[in-house]
Structure 1
Amino acid sequence: MSGSVPLPPAIDSMTLLAAAVVVHDRDADRVVLLRRGPRAKFGRGLWDLPVGKSDPGEPVTETAVRELREETGLVVDPADLTLAHVVHGAVGAESPGGFLTVIFTAHRWRGTLVNAEPRKHSEVRWLPTGDLPRDVVFSTDAVLHRCLTGDVGVTLHGWG
């Protein structure tokens, strides 16, 4: 028997919760971005924020802190996160019921930036806010601009 097994309707229609962090070094006016690797489930070769899915029962702030550490080696205290933006997608690569990504900013962190998941990402870098790449996942460039200017809001993706 080939093909995928269909999910029950209750699971298939669930919205995936994810969190991302804009780590902003105000002194150098730069942010952390990662480039998705050749085996990425979506956005291969594109730049993105450190982002990942929430584990069941995990507060979204803990998701943000965990994913940032797992992907970049940087450590942020949840108390240092500021709500910056929300992206609500109609459909995602692993979420036919859509996704909701809560994006935080952080201006304080510990650690040294590393590509902690080289199987997922081809590179992780500090990039100047005035010279951000255009080859980004979804509207990361526009979302970053909104986050950095304090324009808290919602971006809808794929809702027609």
Structure 2
Amino acid sequence: MDVSITIYKEKKEKDFRMIILPSGRSKIGLIQDKDYGIISYLNKKDSKKIGEFIYWALSESDNEEIENVINVQWCKQYFNCSSNLKVVNEYNYINFKFYKNEYILLLFKRDGRGYSPFKDENGNMVEYIFPEKPTALELGTKVMEMFEYKERYDGLIE
């Protein structure tokens, strides 16, 4: 089973909001966020709990078609923002996927009104492939490290 989890973190160093969403499939078979997830206000010290929430979302993800799609704008449904542009301005995004028996984290950046893969100074996509299934603590710690890397790159953290 190949599934994907979306993880958003508010671009703040403290008292940030995180949104973790499981996935299913659209009518045409594309990966799509489900209409529920976890919204939390955890901190860096809560890496284990962040990892546990991600594993919960992984357990909720499947390749089944999402049948009752709600008609609410994405920016309002999960973020309580007035526009998609406001979301990409205020949140960083990491994709966590289980693909071909590998656990992979991929960092994204703002790209217009959406996101595209983030590339480091050498032009390489910023991703991390775990050699084996990580513990909740390892997963949560790595997610926070990747968000901090992006925030340092953007100049948000001194």
Larger fraction in helix: 2
Q: Report TM bin, short chain.
A: 0.3 to 0.5
What is the TM-score when the length of structure 2 is the normalising length? 0.33
What is the TM-score when the length of structure 1 is the normalising length? 0.33
